[in-house]
Structure 1
Amino acid sequence: MYTRKFKIILAFLLILSTHFAYSQKKFTVVLDAGHGGSDHGANRSYSDIGRIAEKDITLAIVLKIGRMLEKNKDFKVIYTRKIDEFPSLSDRTNLANRSKADLFVSVHCNSSQRPTAYGTETFVQGPDQNDTNLEVAKRENDVIYLDEKDKQTFGTYDARSPESLIALKLQQSKYLESSLLLGGLVENNFVNKDKRSSRGVWQKNLHVLRMNAMPSVLIETGFINHPEESHYLASEKGQDEISESIYDAIIDYKKAIDRKSGGPVATKKPEPEKKEEVPLKNDFRILLMTSAIKYNEDDPALKGLNYILPLKENGIYKYYYSVTNMASIRDINIKTAKDAGFRNAYAVGFMPNQKLNTGYYTIEVYTGKDKLSANSFILQTLKDAEREKNNGLFYYTYGKAASLEDAVKLQKELEAKGIKNTVIQKINK
């Protein structure tokens, strides 16, 4: 009897300790100071301040960010280097992956053959969007030739091959949305807090980001070859402002992620008390684009964004991203959409649970040139599906809903039955 009670108590304590450990899990950030050791990175000499090197500036900024994060009980900080040494790109990414990090932040300084180039920019992993940043990609990727391990790991990768491009798109899409969110927050802080000039957030095929199994950004904090900006980068004031802007972006990033997941919200250092944000009357979705073409949720046209709601009206598909009734989250969602490449994205308000006075919503479950056979999974599952042919295409719809919320609920019920890539269609009468 005593043994049985002891086992029950022991099991209870084990469950309690496991729950406590899980609830105490810290948000792990890997901070990467670019270059180091024999790799000086970008460097310039000036008559008044002497020679400055990228490796020294990035280390100074990273250590400042780390000290601030280490004071926050919600965070665990891991450094790829804390001294003047050169960890290989493989060592940096392996460290982040082994640590099961939640975030990877690589800090760099920019350089250009044009002495007038200046400003900040942040890169996330993805296929190159255009040719304007080839200098950055070449300079950062050339580091692989400094280390034998990197040559083996990255040297055989051919960005021009179809296989590599497919693998790259699959890999980057998983973390693209979160990486873009952090990149947008960083650049926004540089502009609004530090009054810097931002060159934007870009997708780029960078080796130090490609192998990471977590949201990752590479931040170019400014141009070492620009006379004024280089002095700012080398100054204590400049490094303090840059590190604090990145720190604040990491805090705000975790807050946004926690709001979506329902986890504990990160805290900043004490600030003046602010009024609690009041929910808006309308729900806001971000309209990405309108098209006569139906895109599935994993289509490259949607640029890796999740939480996409397609709505069809009068034969036109409208693609909306995310939904919120908080102004701060709405603004973050607009920024994320624009950074993903939807430069004309804007917020559209929807009255919650508004029923259509005339008309209804239905679910478009199939569109195609071929008619579904009676033995198809869709028709076997949905006996009451309706068929219509228009302009040589067959359209199958199912159900009726009075409000958008009811239509979304019906759509999720169909997804649970295995019918995916459906579209909510608004029927006006």
Structure 2
Amino acid sequence: MYKQNFKIILSFLLILLSNFIFSQKKFTVVLDAGHGGGDHGANRTYSDIGRIAEKDVTLAVVLRIGNMLEKNKDFKVIYTRKYDEYPSLSDRTNLANRSKADLFVSVHCNSAVRSSAYGTETYVQGPNQNDENLEVAKRENDVIFLDEKDKQTFGSYNPNSPESLIALKLQQSKYLESSLLMGGLVEDNFVNKDKRFSRGVFQKNLHVLRMNAMPSVLIETGFINHPEESHYLASEKGQQEIAESIYNAIIDYKKAVDRKSGGVIATIKKPEPEKPAEVPLKNDFRILLMSSPTKFNDGDPALKGLNYILPIKENGQYKYYYGVTNMASVKDINLKTAKDAGFRNAFAVGFMPNQKLSSGGFYTIEVAVGDKLTANSFILQTLKDVERNKDSGVFYYTYGKVYTLEDAVKLQKSIEAKGIKNTVIQKVYK
């Protein structure tokens, strides 16, 4: 009798445990239809279809995404709004954080002064990268003044303060890789499935992303001020295609997360034995993003929002390297981050520490390119013994001579400390 009762109790506990495990398998997605209520967002009026408002397009797309996700038993869908109302930015992010969501997806429409601007963009949390990104950030963040709660929450926030920058970097390091993965999947679908033009995945300092404790993306589905793209955004066909592309990206993102974590069932497995400490590699590894005859300064859209990029000029080509490490695991992470940002052909390149260039070559610092500098220019007044060369009507100014990449980096930093920015390390072969 005792054994029979024990078996019954054990079976009951196993059923409860099973129900608990599988009840935890729901992947929670917060869908945020940008703007709403008195905040119309970007809007334009056209003679044939009338007025198009961003708040209406985003809501239509989000409801379509949610409808598809709700048919999938693996997902739990939470909406920041399902009607024409304006939830504050605090309400949106608090809802996502209270729900312990696995992913936050905010849908928007873009606008620009130029009616020729078109294409899709996806943003993840990060500092503003250039003036164009800054204008978009200002536009999306301006809604904080519509709500008193947001004004109290964000009114004292200073994105340039040391405290804010530290918090931002901590949040970026925790969720950036996952957010970039999701952003890359969205933009790939827009290009490959919908045959649209993708402007890329970027980092931007947006309130609705910064306050979220989960991977988050803000998707600009197209430009409302572009004559053709606006009609696509307003059409049922366009809204359905956009929704399907975002839905498929969410599905693929969850699959990637499950592969990485081993799924929920993995939580009941015995912990794996501790792995031995990773041994540093002999070489330093940087991720080569691309080679180009064009020089791109920090924050240029061509760099797709990535930081810690080192350009090295060699034989007239600028080679852009991302990150540096002598640990294999970090190298793999850096490579994945580069590819998720859009550099599909990126690969790791090994650098022997303190190695000199062959055949008596050396490194110098390219401090200016373009028109001829005047004698009272800041660069020539600050640095002595700057060399000048002219090629095809373009003046190239270089400074210093060192024999290892490490010394070149030190020299470059010393120049930047004097106020001379956007310099490039250059290899010179004799």
| TM-score category, normalised to shorter length | 0.5 to 0.7
> Does residue 44 in structure 1 map to residue 36 in structure 2?
no
Match of 1:320 in 2: 331
Are 1:311 and 1:318, in contact at CA under 8 Å, matched by a contact in 2?
no
Assess if the C-alpha contact under 8 Å between 2:286 and 2:324 holds in 1. no
1-structure distance, mates of 2:308, 2:344:
14
Supply the AA of the counterpart residue of 1:163. Answer: E
Does the CA-based 8 Å contact 2:33-2:106 persist in structure 1? yes
Give the RMSD, CA atoms, in angstroms. Answer: 3.2
Q: Within 5 Å, give how 1:371-410 maps onto structure 2.
A: none
What letter matches 1:337 in structure 2? A
Q: Is the 8 A contact 1:111 1:223 kept in 2?
A: yes
Q: What's 2:347 paired with?
A: 346
Q: 1:30 to 1:120 in 2, by over 3 A?
A: same
- The answer to whether 1:220 aligns with 2:220 is yes
Quote the Cα distance in structure 1 between the aligned partners of 2:159 and 2:214: 21
Question: Structure 1's 129 and 7: CA in aligned 2 closer, same or farther, altered over 3 A?
Answer: farther
Structure 2 CA distance for partners of 1:318 and 1:287, relative to 1, 3 Å = farther
CA contact (8 A) 2:181 2:341 kept: no
> Distance between the aligned counterparts of 1:239 and 1:179, measured in 2?
23
The change in CA–CA distance for 1:261 and 1:194 in structure 2 (over 3 A counts) is same
Q: Which moved more, 1:90-99 or 1:131-140?
A: 131-140
Q: Does 1:21 align with 2:20?
A: yes
1:343 CA drift (Å): 8.3
Q: Within 5 Å, which residues of 2 pair with 1:113-124?
A: 113-124=113-124
Q: 1:159 corresponds to which residue?
A: 159
- 3-state SS of the aligned residue for 2:132? coil
1:340 Cα deviation from its structure 2 partner:
4.7
Q: Distance in 1 between matches of 2:248 and 2:52?
A: 26
Secondary structure, aligned partner of 2:144: helix
Aligned to 2:195: 195
Closer/same/farther in 2, CA of residues 231 and 342 from structure 1, 3 Å limit: closer
Long gaps (5+) in structure 1: 266-285, 291-299, 324-332, 349-390, 394-429
Any idea what SS the aligned residue of 1:320 has? helix
Q: Note the C-alpha offset of 1:173.
A: 1.4
> Which residue number corresponds to residue 233 of structure 1?
233
Question: 3-state SS of the aligned residue for 1:141?
Answer: helix
Query: Counterpart of 1:75 in structure 2: which amino acid?
Result: F
- TM-score, reference length from structure 2: 0.64
Maintained 8 Å contact 2:159/2:165: yes
Judge conservation of contact 1:288–1:321 (CA < 8 Å) in 2. no
Equivalent-residue separation in structure 1 for 2:66 and 2:342 (angstroms): 31
Contact 1:179 1:215 in 2 (8 A): yes
- Residue 337 of structure 1 is matched in structure 2 by 338
| Number of the residue aligned with 1:93 | 93
Distance in 2, Cα, partners of 1:112 & 1:105: 22
Q: Which stretch shifts more, 256-265 or 197-206?
A: 256-265
CA contact (8 A) 2:90 2:153 kept: yes
TM-superposed CA distance for 1:19, in Å, is 3.3
Q: In the TM superposition, what is the alpha-carbon distance from 1:93 to its structure 2 partner?
A: 0.6
- Separation in 1 of the partners of 2:331 and 2:161? 32
Residue 57 (structure 1) shift? 0.3
CA-CA distance at 1:301 after TM superposition? 3.9
C-alpha contact 1:288 1:344 (8 A) present in aligned 2: no
Quote the Cα distance in structure 2 between the aligned partners of 1:6 and 1:81.
Answer: 50
Query: What is the deviation of 1:13?
Result: 2.3
State the shift of 1:42 in Å: 0.6
TM-score between both structures, scaled by the size of structure 1: 0.65
CA distance in 1, matches of 2:140, 2:58: 14
Q: SS where residue 35 of structure 1 aligns? A: coil
- The residue type equivalent to 1:107 in the other structure is V
- Number of equivalenced pairs: 303
The Cα shift of 1:172 comes to 2.0
Q: Distance in 1 between matches of 2:342 and 2:64?
A: 32
Alignment of 1:24-423 (within 5 A): 24=23, 25-263=25-263, 288=287, 301=308, 310-311=325-326, 320-322=331-333, 334=336, 336-340=337-341, 345-346=346-347
Structure 2 residues not aligned, in runs of 5+: 266-284, 290-306, 311-322, 350-403, 407-430
Pair 1:241–1:106, CA change in 2 (3 A): same
Quote the Cα distance in structure 2 between the aligned partners of 1:66 and 1:175.
23
